[in-house]
Amino acid sequence: MVSKKKKKYSSGEGAQFMTRKAALKKLQLSLKDFRRICILKGIYPREPRNRKRAQKGAGGIKTLYHTKDIKFLLHEPILWKLRELKVYQQKIRKARAMREFRQMRKYLRDYPDINIDHIVKERYPTFVDALRDLDDCLTLCFLFSTFPSLKRVPRNQSLLCRRLTVEFMHAIIAAKALRKVFISVKGYYYQAELEGQTITWIVPHHFSFQPQSKDEVDFKIMSTFVEFYTMMLGFVNFKLYHSLNLVYPPKLTAAFSDTDKELVDEQAYVAERIAAMNIPVIKLEGANEVEELPEIDIFQSEGEDPQKLEEAKQEAEKVKKLKTMFKGLKFYINREVPREPLVFIIRCFGGEVSWDKDLFVGATFDESDESIAYQIVDRPNMDKQYLSRYYVQPQWVFDSVNTRTLLPISKYLMGAELPPHLSPFVDKTRDQVYKPPEERALLDPNFKPLNDDEDSGSEIEEASDEDEEGKDDSEVEDPEQALTKQYQQEVEEDSTSEDEDDDIDPEKKKLKKEKKKAMSVTTGVPHKEHPYQKEIEDKQAFRLREKLVRKKYRNLYKSMKAGQEKRKKEIWLLRKKRRLHDEKVKEAKKAEKHKKKIQAIEAASA
């Protein structure tokens, strides 16, 4: 029996991939609906190994999808909903064209809604899975919460994002889960820890909205992402509130309700949002406080490093202290200071916040309250000051959170020149990372930065090497001195014993002397190795080890070395930039000093 000849591209990569045009034909959807369902289901284009085979011999570059993914979409219930929507849109268009407005209103009233609950449950089977994928969700929801009513962004979507983001911030405050904060040009970076998962998101600065042209940003696609993310964030908020024994949904101000049809301006919205954050959330009746995690017990087991366990215990103790860092402290915020991030941060660590009640809603105590510990100001001076409180700049709060302790306020006083705001998002496991002098001084109290030629490439490394060599020499000299002292003591003891043993037989004395000569210790001369010779030998040995790398790993090794060289170059450039910056600042100070001197001389002569 003759077997049938296999068709070309019926197996392998030719059968595994499908073009977007073929996918649209198979699903019988428009491009707009196809994009929407792909975003909701988390399906994205793939890159094949061999594009010519995947495109069945066709040239050019086409958008390809896995055939499996497209077949998976065939069984999705939302497909029928999308077709229903298409039918309703045709009916509404026809009724409008025929001027049957009563019928058109009826169709608009019965317009079907798409429910995507099952998609969220399908993509995130457990709560931890949802928390792992929460970074993009929060960043986009916080961005959309700042948008006004746009043509391609529904008004209720922005309102929903506002309400959900405030609910999430309340959950973070109640759980005291915030760990790191940082201010950048993009906005405020926050990092929280929930259920053992690290979540990082960005809250943009509140500027007046500038409409974008159609070509720059596709708001329709972003709105589809937000449609899924709002549903996901609703699930997460519900679970978080119930795990913290809080009532869900929380009672917020009128600005966050979907029924509010009036356009709230940006200033009023921000004021309402901050006021909502300053009010504690209602707890469930009969619910106790959320139990603190117990202290970590160290149990020695095989294959585990005791040092890592000790580090984990120390980290847990630091986090415990961080959660109550501002407990019992009252903060008053001046009107020129951005209130939202400070209210969120201070409340996360147990502090109380207030502001001028005549300007903004939601104030809890007045400026004249004597129990206020810190007043946060961002101006050079103030006419009226209270002796019972400290006047600090906003950066003190951020830096205190990142260092996990209340920093000394001397560098952050009103009108003082602030230290650099260092980013806490640094990977400590990576080597070859540039550390500015301020960060090194923070990590090592004994570090003293050089004044003139600081960080000029290899100079710091040479200085550190010299210090280490000096330490090694001092460590070597101490035991040598001890040995010489001990030897002298032994020699003195021997001499005294010889005087005592004069009356013993001369033969015995001769034998004793011979034994002592055999056992005598002479002072040794330390052998000094030439440092350059050792470096040359190390380099030669390293080159020999490089030659032993197998052929199949050689390309990987080359790429690793290229990465190391790239990072080395980046560090060198950053050091050079810092050195140039320091020189510029030094010259400016000198010029200012010289100017003041000339002014003083002129004033004296006048």
CB within 8 A of 49, min separation 6: which ones? 13
Task: Give the Cα separation of 421 and 184 in Å (integer).
Answer: 9
Lowest model confidence (mean pLDDT) among 159-163, 462-466, 550-554:
462-466
pTM to 2 decimal places: 0.74
- Identify the pLDDT of residue 1: 56
**Arithmetic mean of pLDDT, 379-401:** 90
Is the per-residue pLDDT at 124 higher than 70? yes
- Identify the pLDDT of residue 262: 45
- Identify the pLDDT of residue 140: 94
- Calculate what percentage of the chain has a pLDDT beyond 70: 81
- 278 or 2: which leads in pLDDT: 278
User: Of 392, 448, 402, 444, nearest to 422 (Cα)?
Assistant: 402
- Identify the pLDDT of residue 527: 75
pLDDT band at 302 (very low <50, low <70, confident <90, very high): low
User: Of 389, 421, 418, 383, nearest to 402 (Cα)?
Assistant: 421
**Arithmetic mean of pLDDT, 449-453:** 52
- Identify the pLDDT of residue 263: 44
pLDDT band at 6 (very low <50, low <70, confident <90, very high): confident
**Arithmetic mean of pLDDT, 352-362:** 85
Is the per-residue pLDDT at 465 higher than 50? no
Lowest model confidence (mean pLDDT) among 419-433, 469-483, 532-546:
469-483
Is the per-residue pLDDT at 192 higher than 80? yes
* The pair of three-digit structure tokens given for residue 331, joined into one six-digit string: 């903060």
Lowest model confidence (mean pLDDT) among 58-72, 209-223, 571-585:
209-223
Q: How many CB atoms lie within 10 A of CB 25?
A: 11
User: Of 312, 285, 317, nearest to 298 (Cα)?
Assistant: 312
- Calculate what percentage of the chain has a pLDDT beyond 90: 29
- Identify the pLDDT of residue 3: 64
Residue 39 half-sphere exposure toward CB, CA atoms < 13 A: 17
pLDDT band at 464 (very low <50, low <70, confident <90, very high): very low
Q: Answer whether 208's CB lies under 8 Å from 148's CB.
A: no
CB within 8 A of 269, min separation 6: which ones? 162, 255
Is the per-residue pLDDT at 518 higher than 60? yes
- Identify the pLDDT of residue 503: 52
| Mean pLDDT, the chain, whole residue set | 81
Cis peptide upstream of residue 249 (ω within 30 degrees of 0): yes
Beta strands 374-376 and 330-333, pairing class: parallel
H or E element that contains 352: strand 352-354
pLDDT band at 362 (very low <50, low <70, confident <90, very high): confident
pLDDT band at 397 (very low <50, low <70, confident <90, very high): very high
Beta strands 178-183 and 17-19, pairing class: unpaired
**Arithmetic mean of pLDDT, 506-520:** 74
The most confident of the ranges 40-44, 147-151, 246-250 is 40-44
Is the per-residue pLDDT at 404 higher than 60? yes
Lowest model confidence (mean pLDDT) among 20-24, 67-71, 353-357, 532-536:
532-536
Residue 402 half-sphere exposure toward CB, CA atoms < 13 A: 19
Task: List the beta strands (DSSP E) in 36-165.
Answer: 64-66
Task: Summarize pLDDT for 240-262 with one digit per residue, the tens.
Answer: 999 988 888 887 765 555 444 44
Q: Answer whether 142's CB lies under 8 Å from 168's CB.
A: no
- Identify the pLDDT of residue 442: 73
Lowest model confidence (mean pLDDT) among 33-42, 100-109, 152-161:
152-161
- Identify the pLDDT of residue 260: 46
The most confident of the ranges 67-71, 451-455, 485-489 is 67-71
Is the per-residue pLDDT at 484 higher than 60? no
Is the per-residue pLDDT at 146 higher than 60? yes
| 295 φψ region: left (φ > 0), alpha (ψ -120 to 50), beta (else) | beta
